[in-house]
Amino acid sequence: MTGIEWLIETFGSPETALRSETSLRILFESIVTDMGLKPVGPPVWHQFPDTGGFTGIWLLQESHLTIHTFPEFRSACLNVFCCSTRPGLDWQTRLHVLLGATEVQVREFHRLYDRR
């Protein structure tokens, strides 16, 4: 069995999007819906009072989503981890449409956990 994880950095988003729990919630829900993932409970959100940046974490049957936003740098770091390989989304378009990102960097890694 091999998992798959995307490490994604976004740049150029409006600060307001990165300080909006609603925007981030819509992003998480769109990923879960379009990849056919099954959440375990609701996501956990924390907003940092100094910058207004958010951390969001969503535990899934298939592993997890996390995001950290940095409004002061107009950037964010997203992780999408699935415990079985599958196609990703068009991350550039998704993050442009939902967070206003003007640049998106994506790295994809396999995570082997069964070597029998």
Residues found near a second copy in the complex (CB under 8 A) = 1, 3, 5, 7, 9, 11, 40-41, 44, 46, 48, 55, 57, 59, 61, 63-64, 66, 68, 70, 73, 75-77, 79, 81, 83, 107, 109, 111-116
Q: How far is the CB of 114 from a second copy (least distance, A)?
A: 4
Q: How far is the CB of 17 from a second copy (least distance, A)?
A: 15
Cβ-based burial of 8 (10 A; exposed 0-12, middle 13-18, buried ≥19): buried
Task: Give the residue with the Cβ less far from a second copy, 55 or 92.
Answer: 55
Task: Give the residue with the Cβ less far from a second copy, 87 or 107.
Answer: 107
Task: Give the residue with the Cβ less far from a second copy, 81 or 100.
Answer: 81
Cβ-based burial of 112 (10 A; exposed 0-12, middle 13-18, buried ≥19): exposed
DSSP secondary structure letter of residue 89 = -
Q: How far is the CB of 5 from a second copy (least distance, A)?
A: 7
* Cα 36 to Cα 19: distance, rounded to the nearest angstrom: 27
Task: Give the residue with the Cβ less far from a second copy, 22 or 107.
Answer: 107
Torsion 6-58-46-25 (CA) sign = positive
